[in-house]
Structure 1
Amino acid sequence: MIKKSKRFQKIKSQILEQSYELREGIELLKTIANARFSETAEVHMNLAIDPKYNDQQLRASVLLPRGTGKFVKIAVITNSSQLELAKSAGADLVGSDEILDTITNNNFLDFSYLITTPDFVPKIAKLGKILGPRGLMPSPKTGTVTNDLADTIKNFKNGKIEYRADKTGIVHIGFGKVNFSTEDLLFNLLAIKDSINKNKPSGVKGKYWKSCYICSTMSPSINIDVSTFI
């Protein structure tokens, strides 16, 4: 059993054994986060889904209205006619087959998101074993396979994120930094909630939300009253 630090135990003592209303939980999170760096605010949502079934898988994207607070590095693979457009839209790494070769030969994965146009999907599909485990495989479901490169790049730069349920049906998402205002964190979290409800898998029957917890990078978790969240 891992022994928790005195700091962790002191913080945990401030969290009551109860579920908190959403705003109240965020305010408590901001109070207890005291690391010497800007911690990420995280939400962990347990859904009544079993991703081993195709009609219960959840993978989508959402634009956080107040951003992520993180630097986002965008790589774009497209044809020569759209390279300049991608650069002018703010992509950090732009190319065609040469980027594919670098990923294949060097396992180059120094980017946050990989965006591509539909014509490159067959080539990128061959890199599934490299990109898939890191969550970097472009997909129409998350908007990273698109003909609208300019808007897609800008959206991801401005706070659009991808998410997916893990094999146990839990979705883990960073929804900003703890030094964001309560209102900004609340706006981001509500956007996530709306997106998860909008993308509810067709195979889900009955109750969808099981539990929801928020925490910071270094803090214990805070139980959120799901009835105030769904």
Structure 2
Amino acid sequence: MVRGAAVLPHSAGKPVRVAVFAEGEAADEARAAGADIVGGDELVEALLDSKGKSIDFTRAVAHPSMMRSLVRLGKILGPKGLMPNPKVGTLTPDVAAAVRDMRRGRIEFRVDRTAIIHAPIGKVSMGPAQLYANMGALTTALLKAKPDAIKGGLAQYVSKVAICSTMGKGFEVEASSLLAAVDAAAEAMAAGA
């Protein structure tokens, strides 16, 4: 299963509220990085008491030391796609970096049962260069997430690429142009850093 995350050089524009499950120094770092909600066991208990009704965040990050407490929230956070996971970088010792990435424009992707990956890369109001750089960042993340069993490069891994607006017509993109987009993304990330 292909699953991962990409940090876009130009934000896709969706508002993000980040909750961090951490205590001590990690909690202080998360607050400094701009987390909206920071808490440890007391936050876990509050979510359990409300049976998930008090969830007012769109993303969740956790320090590994909190995993034992977080397991109890699996049935609440899991169905909403909020359960921290090391595969997508939301269960990490560096919670501050994860919060900064989410604020910057981090997206998560996974392959569905029809072998399609749906991922937002921007808004209609963005310019072509920004969309191109975001597509390159997503392509870079997809190549990093490629299973070892798939040999070869992009052509063996990606069979077809289309770009479309939410309810609009899709336009096919040549897979070979994605490699050039990877370079554009690297330049955009370097300029933004």
Instruction: Report the identity percentage.
Output: 37
Which structure is richer in relative contact order (CA contacts within 8 A, separation 6 or more)?
1
Displacement of 1:82: 3.2
Q: Which residue of 2 aligns with 1:91?
A: 35
Q: Which residue of 1 aligns with 2:20?
A: 76
Q: Which residue of 2 aligns with 1:51?
A: none
Confirm or deny: 8 A CA contact 2:107 2:120 kept in the other structure.
no
Q: 2:61 aligned with 1:112, yes or no?
A: no
Worse-superposed segment, 144-153 or 177-186: 144-153
Q: Which residue of 2 aligns with 1:142?
A: 88
Q: 2:8 aligned with 1:64, yes or no?
A: yes
Greater share of residues in helix: 2
| Structure 1 gap segments, 5+ residues each | 1-56
Instruction: Indicate how the Cα distance of structure 1 residues 167 and 134 shifts in structure 2: closer, same or farther if over 3 A, else same.
Output: farther
Displacement of 1:193: 0.8
Q: 2:154 aligned with 1:208, yes or no?
A: no
Q: 2:44 aligned with 1:100, yes or no?
A: yes
Distance in 2 (alpha carbons) for counterparts of 1:198 and 1:80:
33
AA aligned opposite 1:145: L
Q: 2:193 aligned with 1:228, yes or no?
A: no
AA aligned opposite 1:104: L
Confirm or deny: 8 A CA contact 2:21 2:63 kept in the other structure.
yes
TM-score of the two chains, using structure 2 as the length reference: 0.82
Q: Which residue of 2 aligns with 1:122?
A: 68
Displacement of 1:173: 0.6
Displacement of 1:205: 5.3
AA aligned opposite 1:159: G
Distance in 2 (alpha carbons) for counterparts of 1:221 and 1:102:
43
Q: 2:164 aligned with 1:218, yes or no?
A: no
Instruction: Indicate how the Cα distance of structure 1 residues 203 and 221 shifts in structure 2: closer, same or farther if over 3 A, else same.
Output: same
| Structure 2 gap segments, 5+ residues each | 180-193
Displacement of 1:98: 2.3
Displacement of 1:150: 1.8
Distance in 1 (alpha carbons) for counterparts of 2:81 and 2:149:
23
Q: Secondary structure of the equivalent of 1:126?
A: helix
Distance in 2 (alpha carbons) for counterparts of 1:88 and 1:217:
35
Which of the pair has more CA radius of gyration?
1
Distance in 1 (alpha carbons) for counterparts of 2:66 and 2:163:
38
Give matches, 1:130-209, under 5 Å. 130-204=76-150, 207-209=156-158
Distance in 1 (alpha carbons) for counterparts of 2:116 and 2:20:
29
Displacement of 1:229: 2.7
Displacement of 1:184: 0.5
Greater share of residues in strand: 1
Displacement of 1:188: 0.3
Distance in 2 (alpha carbons) for counterparts of 1:168 and 1:122:
34
